[in-house]
Structure formats: C-alpha cells, structure tokens
Amino acid sequence: MRIPKSWVPALTKQIMEGLLKKGLIKLNIPEEQARVVFEELILDELMVEDRLNAEVREILKRYESEIEKGHLDYRRLFELTKQKLVKERNIIL
C-alpha cells in the first residue's frame, strides 16, 4: 500500500464530505455507517498491489533454487511477472 492505513479515515472523511457537499451522492444509511463502508472500499482498493506482490512472491518460490544459484535475477523476474499479471487482469496500480 502506498499510503499509511492511518490516513484512510481522514481520506474517507474528505472524500465523503466533498461528494456530499457537491450533491454527487445521497446517503440512504447513517453517515457513520457509510463512512465505515467507504473506508473498507478504499482499503481494499489500496491493498490490490500488496495482494499482487504476495502472489508474485508465491509464483517465484517455484524457481527459488534457480534464483539462488544465480541463474535468474529475482528483482527482474518479480517486475516482469508483476507486469504480466497486471496486463492479464487489467489491474490499475
């Protein structure tokens, strides 16, 4: 995640206030409940890259012996694998 989790509540509050003030959203649930839902959505979106990185690490574990022997560059393989998954899944980072 590129921003600290501790920033999410403040970020959520600013986003919600802006959307409400401009009339772009109307809440059908209490504001506090909506804020919790917004925070979960924002956290989930921010953690996409973290989950992708974990998946790439798991994929590269299969090639651990070759990487350790020096036949493969782990950092380069990591980036290439990550780019491939991003492209295949149409993920926006």
The structural domains of the chain, with segments of one domain joined by +, span 5-46, 48-89
**Statement: residue 1 has pLDDT above 80:** no
For 10-23, what is the mean pLDDT? 95
For 66-73, what is the mean pLDDT? 80
Distance between CA atoms of residues 11 and 42, nearest Å: 9
Structure tokens, 80? 């290439």
**Statement: residue 3 has pLDDT above 90:** no
Per-residue pLDDT of 32-67, as tens digits, reads: 999 999 999 999 988 999 999 999 999 999 888 888
DSSP run (H or E) holding 24? none
More confident residue, 9 or 3: 9
Residue 44 pLDDT: 92
Distance between CA atoms of residues 43 and 12, nearest Å: 10
Residue percentage of the chain with pLDDT more than 70: 99
